[in-house]
Every structure is written in structure tokens, then in C-alpha cells.
Amino acid sequence: MNPTQLAPDRIRKGERTRTRILGAAADVLARKGYAAATLTEIAAVAKMQAGSLYYHFDSKDAIVEEVLRVGIDHARDAIRSALSAAGDDASGHGRLMAAVVAYVTAITIDSDFTQANIRCFEESPEDTRENLAVPLREFVNGWVRLIESGQRDGSLRNDVEARIIARMTIAAMNSVVGWWRHDGELNIDGVARMFASTMVDGLSGNA
């Protein structure tokens, strides 16, 4: 067989291995945080030798940065899906409710990547945070646009600064990761909807 014919298979295998490493890293980072996560444990979860990680990533920080980037993407995709399901005819209030439920669900049960992002972002090196500044800023801007849309259609109060409310809402939602437990009595769907109702109804144009 011509060596060039093997290249696509090798590429696909490399991509699968890289994906496995990132999934393992997300699991470890979500559970232990940046400082306590080790390449040895990441490799063990990925069922690899620690030294093999360097064929795919230059360092622990390179793995962490990619995990955090994927976490932002997962959260954004969950919100987009929820907004698509809500439809363009939904009010700004309804769309913000849908986005809050989707995000709270994403950061608790849907993705280790989103949990790792929340737990590790502030712990990660300054270079990592700087490299993620653009996607993170766009993520925040998405929430700002949602709130401003509701302010324009009258379904959300217009006497509050959208950017401040967006940051407050994100911070409050992220806090759920710190106290909600998979084996606890609280169902996350109920928690997400209660959270959305409490936060968003407080911004209602009728409030």
C-alpha cells in the first residue's frame, strides 16, 4: 500500500487520540481543578502513558487551554440550540429564560468541558486567559445582546445596564457548579428552571 494512502487513517487516529486526551483532561480538571490536575492522571484516564501526551500537546497548559476553549464552545452551542428551539418569534424574556436553562444544564450535567472551564479559568496561567479573551468576550457579548433584545421589545426592564446584568447573571449561574451535586436530592432541570424564573422574572418588563 502506498504510504500516502495511510496518511488519512493516521490523521484520523491522531484526531481520535487527541479527542480522548481532551476528554480525559476535562474530566480531571472538572473534578480537581488546575493545580491538582497532573499529566499522569490525565494519561491514566485516557489509558495512555504520560509521555505519549507530548506527541499531541506541548505541555499541560496547552491541554488546559484547549479544554477551556472547548468548554466555551460547548456552552455557546447549548445556548444556540436552545434559542433555535425557542424560535425567532419568542420574546426577549422567553429567549433569555431558554438560554439560562440551557447554560445551567450545560455546566452541570452536559459537559465536563464547561465545568472545567468554570473551575479552572481563574486558576490557569495568565497566557492562557489572554489567549481565551476573545472567545470569552464574545460569549459575554452574546448574553448582552439577549438582554438588549428583551429591552427593545419591552419584555425586559430597560432601566438596567445590560452588560452589568449579563455579567451578574453569568457569575450567578457559574456558582451552581460549586454546590449542586449529581447524587443530591435536587433535580438539575428543576434547579435550572427555578434559577431562570428567579433571575429573568426579576428583569421582566412588568417587574
Q: Model confidence over 102-132: pLDDT tens digits?
A: 999 988 886 799 999 999 999 999 999 999 9
Residue 1: which pLDDT band, with cuts at 50, 70 and 90?
very low
Query: What integer pLDDT is reported at residue 5 of this predicted model?
Result: 42
- Rounded CA-CA distance 167/140 in Å is 7
Half-sphere exposure of 136 (CA within 13 A, CB side): 17
Among residues 133, 110, 96, the alpha carbon closest in space to that of 26 is found at 110
**Residues written for the chain:** 207
| β-sheet bridge partners, residue 156 | 204
C-alpha cell at 78: 447549548
User: How crowded is residue 116: how many other Cβ atoms within 10 Å of its Cβ?
Assistant: 29
Residue 205: which pLDDT band, with cuts at 50, 70 and 90?
low
Query: What integer pLDDT is reported at residue 10 of this predicted model?
Result: 52
User: Which parts of 14-140 are beta strand (E)?
Assistant: none
Q: What is the pTM of this model?
A: 0.84
The domain over range 58-201 is classified in CATH as 1.10.357.10:
yes
Query: What integer pLDDT is reported at residue 12 of this predicted model?
Result: 76
- Rounded CA-CA distance 176/19 in Å is 27
Query: What integer pLDDT is reported at residue 204 of this predicted model?
Result: 75
pLDDT at position 3 over 80: no
pLDDT tens string 144-189: 999 999 999 999 988 999 999 999 999 999 988 887 777 667 778 8
Average model confidence (pLDDT) for the chain? 88
Residue 6: which pLDDT band, with cuts at 50, 70 and 90?
very low
pLDDT tens string 96-107: 999 999 999 988
